[in-house]
Chains A and B, each alone.
Chain A
Amino acid sequence: MVDQVFQTKNGVKRMKKKTWGTMLAAVLTFSLVLAGCGSNNSNSGSGSSKTLKVWFMGTTDTVEPLAEMYEKENPGIKVEVQAIPWDSAHDKLLTAVASKNGPDVVQMGTTWIPEFAAAGALADMAPYIEKYPNLKAENFYDGAVQTGQFDGKTVGIPWYVETRSLFYRTDLLGEVGYPEGPKTWDELKDASQQLVAKGGAGHYGITIDGKDQITAAIFAWQNGSDFIDDQGQPHFNEPKYVETINYLKSFFDEKLTPSGTDLDTTTAFKDGTIPMFISGPWMIQTIKEKDPEIDGKWTVTTLPAKENNDSSIGGSDLSIFNYSNNKDEAAKFISFLSDTEAQLKYYETSNSLPALKTAWDDQAFSDPMIAAFGKQLETARPAPQIKEWETIAQAVIASFEQITVGGADTQTEMDKLNDKAKEILGK
């Protein structure tokens, strides 16, 4: 044994240069990598003086022009825009909260506001609203302002809005007696039945997207159901909500709506196999581009009514990350983005509807289809502003699927859902 150790020791001394070289190279590469990080670190924090870090969802090409405009108006300030894929944005925000290391300004999906506000990750905007009149609530749509509020505080300034309205084929609906589109729930049902009877196999009336958490909510509001009241109590198993679900279920039972979701909406709309669908403003451009064949044969109108025809409001707000050291600069940037000019520019680059009411006076919004969305926005309401909403919404989707695909009884399933919601809210 002693011999062996001795041998080895000797061996090291005699090790050839080449081997050492390889080793050294490996070690060097490794430590270089390590060193590279340390030096980089200083600018990763949110604090460095004149750089404003902004996180946006989607691709940068929509926001970059705005950042350039701002940089031109405010020399010495650099706006660093980082684009984050929508799919992973939630994960990214979570880790930023965990490390208290993130952007100065962040675009927040409206449904995420309660969750992150409850965690104290979003700064209270009150002092900045005093300072920058652009941020005042009366400038924006009511529903949009509500999305930025949590616990009586304003933590998000409306950035862009979207709502859902009814897209329909004027020609096909005209043939069944509804050239203006169905105005009530009964008309919607009747139109769908007639369209299916007329079109035969493979034809449907309308798509009802059960995977979209807002679908059931919209119809429930229209039926006068307040499925989560102001006290945070769920009412999913009460008649108004159950009635809504049964109404939607009848579309599946009578095959008025396809139950698979991979029919391409634009193509089915073009072929006339699905002559109606409920969607947001982004579809206007898509249909125009993809279905030039049916130009002039379709339009958008407000949703059919039951007790009312309320729709949902969504979109994004702008918030200041609470761990930012640049809060005042951040507020100034948000104020800039709330200007008519900036709002119109963003509409131009992204087709997202402005949250700012005065922006709508621009002639770009005189188009009747967009005007329909404008009208819908007036009575649009946000999803319940509670931090548990995301969890409940997932449970609603699962129950809806159980009923429409799994064949569960509506009342039983809704009782279960209500218990589950109570449990989630009770936590």
Chain B
Amino acid sequence: MAVKKIEKGVMVTLLILGGILMMVPFIWMLGSSFKPENEFTVIPPTIIPHHPTWNNYSRLFTEMDFFVYLKNTLIIVICSFVGLFLNALAGYAFAKFHFPGKNGFFYLILATMMIPGQVTMIPTYLIINKMGLVNTMAGIVLPGLVGAFGIFLFRQFMATIPTDLIEAARLDGSGEFRIFFTLILPVVKPVFAVQAILTFIGAWNSFLWPLIIANDEKLYTLSVGLSLLKGQYGTEFGLQMAGAAFMVVPIIIIFTFFQKHIIEGYTISGMK
């Protein structure tokens, strides 16, 4: 038992040490966002500001439309979640059905994962333009709605669901969609959570694409706003730090709140 205690002690120490290292940039960011401008170049650097001020935050809202950017960002987040279902549906078909051309389609999807995004940007823009979707939310959301990464992940986890279970449901007379929603989705909840997080991050941080598609500032996202800030007030660290903190802190709060739904409880093997 003593060995076990020591082992636990070592584990916890390692965990805390690593965690502190991971936290350093955040602590630095939060501390700095309260610093007045002249405290930034003090040597040695101060981690906790000597003369804390709210000034940077109030300027953020008086000089920028940060609320509009926040709203757009949230809309993109919500739209992106639709893509999650499409990913899961496709993953399910690849995991549990046999149909002609299955491998071909699957490799096609895998191949899209390897396409470097920088080069497809202009062609994709031209396609969106032909479809008349420039300057619309759909134009911003559609190209990234489904992703090979997600489909791949769903397929792998769904493959572990015993086929017998699905067959049994079919014999009970359940339809395919019903099986998907009531049997498959609950089982892959953890993957869903992982995917949801990914989608959220992607949408929350979307930057270059919204900027290119939007011909109207009403469609700008938070990242674009922060970039405007960086360009305009390049030498004002405090304002930039406050902007950065404003982008990061809300997600951290959301995650702390929902984190028990992430990966906990439902596991793949739980249904065996």
> Do A's and B's CB atoms come within 8 Å in the complex?
yes
Q: Are B228 and A58 in contact (CB under 8 A)?
A: yes
Q: Are A37 and B139 in contact (CB under 8 A)?
A: yes
In the complex, whether A95 has a CB less than 8 A from a CB of chain B is: yes
Q: How far is the CB of A278 from chain B (nearest CB, A)?
A: 16
Q: How far is the CB of B135 from chain A (nearest CB, A)?
A: 4
**Which residue of B has the minimal Cβ distance to A88?**
B211
**Which residue of A has the minimal Cβ distance to B180?**
A19
Q: Are A82 and B175 in contact (CB under 8 A)?
A: no
| Residue interface mask A25-48, B partner, CB < 8 A = 1 | 010011001101110110110000
Could you tell me the distance between the alpha carbons of A30 and B138 in the complex, rounded to whole angstroms?
A: 9
Q: Are A38 and B132 in contact (CB under 8 A)?
A: yes
Could you tell me the distance between the alpha carbons of A84 and B178 in the complex, rounded to whole angstroms?
A: 47
In the complex, whether A409 has a CB less than 8 A from a CB of chain B is: no
Q: Are B181 and A19 in contact (CB under 8 A)?
A: yes
Q: Chain B: how many interface residues by the 8 Å CB criterion?
A: 47
Our pick among B132, B138, B182, B212 for the contact of A91 (Cβ within 8 Å) is B212
The answer to whether A19 and B182 touch (CB under 8 A), given A8-B175, A11-B176, A91-B208, is: yes
Our pick among B38, B134, B181 for the contact of A44 (Cβ within 8 Å) is B134
**Which residue of B has the minimal Cβ distance to A263?**
B41
Q: Are B173 and A7 in contact (CB under 8 A)?
A: yes
In the complex, whether A198 has a CB less than 8 A from a CB of chain B is: no
Our pick among B126, B134, B170, B224 for the contact of A11 (Cβ within 8 Å) is B170
Q: Are A85 and B227 in contact (CB under 8 A)?
A: yes
Q: Are B178 and A16 in contact (CB under 8 A)?
A: yes
Our pick among B133, B178, B228 for the contact of A85 (Cβ within 8 Å) is B228
Consensus secondary structure, chain A interface: helix
Could you tell me the distance between the alpha carbons of A7 and B229 in the complex, rounded to whole angstroms?
A: 60
A13 — which chain B residues lie within 8 A by C-beta?
175
Q: Are B122 and A88 in contact (CB under 8 A)?
A: no
Q: Are A59 and B181 in contact (CB under 8 A)?
A: no
Residues of B185-237 at the interface with A, using a CB-CB cut-off of 8 Å, are: 208, 211-212, 215-217, 224, 227-232, 235
A85 — which chain B residues lie within 8 A by C-beta?
211, 224, 227-228, 230-231
Q: How far is the CB of A125 from chain B (nearest CB, A)?
A: 24
A12 — which chain B residues lie within 8 A by C-beta?
175-177
Q: Are A11 and B175 in contact (CB under 8 A)?
A: yes
Q: Are B178 and A33 in contact (CB under 8 A)?
A: no
Our pick among A8, A37, A58, A289 for the contact of B138 (Cβ within 8 Å) is A37
Could you tell me the distance between the alpha carbons of A385 and B179 in the complex, rounded to whole angstroms?
A: 66
Our pick among B41, B137, B230 for the contact of A36 (Cβ within 8 Å) is B137
In the complex, whether B141 has a CB less than 8 A from a CB of chain A is: yes
**Which residue of A has the minimal Cβ distance to B122?**
A98
| Residue interface mask B69-105, A partner, CB < 8 A = 1 | 0000000000100100100000000000000000000
Our pick among A19, A83, A95, A290 for the contact of B37 (Cβ within 8 Å) is A290
Residues of B153-193 at the interface with A, using a CB-CB cut-off of 8 Å, are: 170-171, 173-178, 181-182
Q: Are B230 and A87 in contact (CB under 8 A)?
A: yes
Could you tell me the distance between the alpha carbons of A397 and B211 in the complex, rounded to whole angstroms?
A: 29
Our pick among A4, A44, A53, A59 for the contact of B232 (Cβ within 8 Å) is A59
Our pick among B82, B175, B228 for the contact of A30 (Cβ within 8 Å) is B82
In the complex, whether B11 has a CB less than 8 A from a CB of chain A is: no
Q: Are A60 and B135 in contact (CB under 8 A)?
A: no
Q: Are B177 and A37 in contact (CB under 8 A)?
A: no
Between-chain CB contacts (< 8 Å), 5 pairs: A37-B136, A41-B135, A83-B217, A101-B215, A103-B215
- B-to-A contact residues, CB < 8 Å: 37-38, 40-41, 63-64, 79, 82, 85, 121-122, 125-126, 129, 132-139, 141, 170-171, 173-178, 181-182, 208, 211-212, 215-217, 224, 227-232, 235
- A-to-B contact residues, CB < 8 Å: 4, 7-8, 10-16, 19-20, 22-23, 26, 29-30, 33-34, 36-38, 40-41, 43-44, 53, 57-61, 80-88, 91-92, 94-95, 98-99, 101-103, 264, 266-267, 286, 289-290
Taking A7-B170, A84-B211 as known contacts, 13 extra A-B pairs with beta carbons closer than 8 A to each other, sorted by chain A number, are: A8-B170, A19-B178, A23-B181, A33-B82, A37-B132, A85-B227, A88-B227, A91-B208, A92-B212, A95-B122, A98-B125, A99-B125, A102-B215
